[in-house]
């Protein structure tokens, strides 16, 4: 039994960032975490997946190398090695969070937590002991989310032939044939990884486009690139007749007016995540949920029960690490009695790290149409950008959608090498209500990929220079 000011339930990006900010603001802080610090992002998501994508990208670049006068000879691929390196990066990052906890004097309580009243948390430790801890100021629910299978169509996760991203990250070798269900960020990234490591990849999406939350132009550009890469892409697909065998899975997929039987060694279910709301005492404390089953919060991260906060995936979409981190910071400021600037959820960027990369902020063109906004589009292809040509990565474009009257940035979409890095110029612009004129006024260095952003801004005003 110990007493703290604040206790976080879960040490993922939302929880650990919130905890650090709480400690910085002088609050005695503890985090209950049963696994490693860093949560899904560090252990089973963002970080290890990006390490694998980098491995695949090196393989692809090496195929291009002879054009550059560099002949690497025979290139051998070993997914197991890439996987082990990726695990290493993961645990390095998790250790990094542990270090930050020590530095900020945050207590890591190893175990599984449950709310035990407004100001108290009970923890079942790894060795089965039950402890109770006081949280004098606040309890913050940051339990995150988890992968879920698709049992409704017969794709229950069995961790062997039907797997989630969790298992995909620790495969010893790349499967010969893999069928990926769900072409959001996770599905598209794994399609890229396994394709680069020589697997025969089929990517299946029920929506009309892959990366369905992105602008249709972005989705089409990536789909085109994936096909060129040898990935079979099936969109608007209907899955039926799923048979899960010992070493393989078969199913019928109807797409593009054609119904075909497919068979693969492994099916990766990359559709949907569920918030971790069970067994943490929400009901007992009377904490309200949203219609979609997330913990209901207000803009100050407060749940329906005073003194209990919720942040990150468990508090609702978009389920993104950077959204959770920001919510963690806001919760900490509120708990410490400081003024917190309200988070504008329309300014949270999206980033997908497949090749070409996809990044965006704000509205898609379709959303602008649906909202009946008066808008103008500016678009610039990387094929016309000098820097992109030098590196031989000319796929993709920058697309800026601006308000017709005031020039505000309604949405920005980038597909191409380093898109996920470049988007932030436009995130800064949009967040601070700059218009395309301010973007154009900023001088962009030459030669850089970012010049494409300036050109797209100009194009939206009908003044493009280089195309």
Partner 1 sequence: MEALSPTMEEGKLVKWLKNEGDAVKSGDPLGEVETDKAIMELVARGDGVLRKRLINEGDSVPVGTLVGVIAGKDENIDDVLAGAAAPPGAPAPQPEKPDVPAPAVEPQRSTGPSRGTPVPPPQPPAPPAPPAAPPAPPAQAPSQQQPAATGAVRSSPLARRLASERGVDLGTLQGSGPNGRIIKRDVENAPAGGAPSAGAGRAAAAPSAPAISREGDYQDVPLNNIRKVIAKRLSESIGPIPTFYLTVELDLTRVMEMRSAMAELGDEFKVSVNDVLLKAIAVALSQHPEVNAHWLGDRIRYFNRVHLGMAVATDDGLIVPVIWDADTKGMAQISREAKELAKRARERKLRPEEFTGSTFSVSNLGMFGIDQFTAIINPPEAGILAIGTGEDKLVVVDGEPVVRKRVRVTMSCDHRVIDGAVGAKFLQTLRRLIENPLMLVY
* CB atoms closer than 10 angstroms to residue 460: 28
Paired sense of beta strands 145-147 and 409-416, if any? unpaired
Nearer to partner 1, 22 or 42 (CB): 22
Q: Least distance from C-beta 160 to partner 1, angstroms?
A: 51
* Secondary structure letter of residue 48 according to DSSP: H
Coil/strand/helix, residue 401: strand
413 is an active site residue = no
Helix H, strand E, coil C: the string for 94-152 is HHHHHHHHHHCCCEEEEEEEEECCCCEEEEEECCCCEEEEEEEEEEEECCCEEECCEHH
Paired sense of beta strands 162-163 and 266-269, if any? parallel
Q: Least distance from C-beta 344 to partner 1, angstroms?
A: 10
Which residues on neighbouring strands pair with residue 113, listed in sequence order? 123
Nearer to partner 1, 152 or 432 (CB): 432
Nearer to partner 1, 300 or 446 (CB): 300
Q: What DSSP element (H or E) covers 309?
A: strand 308-310
Nearer to partner 1, 86 or 435 (CB): 435
Binding site for partner 1 (CB under 8 A): 337-339, 341, 405-408, 432-435, 437-438, 441
Spatial separation of the C-alpha atoms in residues 362 and 186, rounded to whole Å: 20
Nearer to partner 1, 142 or 435 (CB): 435
Q: Least distance from C-beta 286 to partner 1, angstroms?
A: 28
Of the residues 133, 229, 418, 446, only one is catalytic, namely 446
Q: Least distance from C-beta 96 to partner 1, angstroms?
A: 29
Q: Least distance from C-beta 435 to partner 1, angstroms?
A: 5
Q: Tokens standing for 403? A: 């308000």
Q: Tokens standing for 397? A: 């474009």
Q: Tokens standing for 350? A: 């999206």
Nearer to partner 1, 307 or 403 (CB): 403
Q: Least distance from C-beta 437 to partner 1, angstroms?
A: 5
Q: What angle do CA 248, 254, 255 make, to 5 degrees?
A: 115
Coil/strand/helix, residue 196: helix
- Residue numbers annotated as active site: 446
């Amino acid at each position: 039994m110990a007493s703290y000011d604040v206790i976080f339930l879960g040490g993922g990006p939302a929880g650990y960032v919130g905890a650090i900010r709480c400690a910085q603001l002088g609050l005695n802080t503890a985090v209950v975490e049963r696994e490693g610090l860093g949560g899904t992002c560090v252990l089973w998501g963002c970080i290890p997946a990006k390490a694998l994508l980098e491995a695949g990208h090196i393989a692809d670049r090496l195929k291009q190398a002879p054009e550059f006068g560099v002949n690497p000879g025979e290139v051998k691929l070993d997914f197991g090695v890439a996987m082990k390196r990726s695990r290493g990066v993961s645990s390095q990052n998790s250790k990094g969070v542990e270090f930050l906890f020590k530095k900020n004097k945050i207590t890591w309580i190893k175990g599984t937590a449950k709310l035990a009243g407004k100001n108290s948390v009970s923890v079942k430790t790894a060795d089965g002991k039950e402890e109770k801890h006081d949280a004098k100021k606040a309890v913050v629910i940051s339990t995150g989310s988890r992968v879920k299978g698709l049992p409704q169509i017969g794709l229950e996760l069995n961790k062997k032939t039907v797997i989630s991203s969790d298992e995909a990250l620790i495969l010893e070798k790349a499967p010969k044939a893999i069928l990926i269900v769900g072409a959001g960020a996770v599905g598209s990234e794994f399609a890229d990884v396994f394709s680069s490591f020589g697997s025969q990849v089929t990517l299946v999406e029920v929506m009309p486009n892959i990366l369905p939350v992105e602008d249709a132009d972005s989705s089409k550009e990536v789909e085109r690139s994936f096909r060129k890469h040898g990935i079979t892409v099936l969109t608007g697909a209907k899955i039926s007749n799923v048979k899960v065998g010992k070493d393989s899975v078969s199913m019928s997929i109807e797409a593009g007016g054609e119904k075909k039987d497919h068979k693969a060694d492994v099916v990766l279910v990359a559709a949907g995540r569920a918030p971790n709301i069970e067994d943490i005492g929400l009901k007992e404390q009377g904490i309200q949920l949203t219609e979609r089953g997330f913990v209901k919060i207000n803009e100050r991260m407060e749940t329906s029960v005073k003194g209990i906060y919720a942040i990150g995936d468990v508090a609702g979409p978009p389920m993104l690490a950077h959204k959770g981190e920001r919510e963690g910071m806001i919760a900490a400021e509120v708990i410490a009695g400081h003024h917190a600037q309200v988070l504008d959820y329309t300014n949270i960027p999206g980033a997908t790290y497949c090749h070409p990369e996809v990044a965006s902020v704000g509205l898609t063109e379709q959303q602008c149409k649906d909202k009946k906004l008066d808008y103008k589009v500016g678009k610039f292809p990387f094929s016309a950008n000098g820097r992109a040509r030098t590196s031989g990565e000319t796929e993709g474009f920058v697309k800026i959608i601006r308000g017709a009257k005031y020039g505000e940035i309604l949405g920005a979409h980038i597909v191409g090498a380093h898109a996920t890095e470049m988007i932030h110029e436009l995130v800064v612009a949009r967040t601070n209500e700059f218009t395309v004129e301010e973007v154009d006024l900023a001088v962009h260095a030459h030669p850089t990929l970012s010049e494409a952003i300036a050109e797209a801004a100009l194009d939206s005003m009908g003044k493009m220079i280089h195309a």
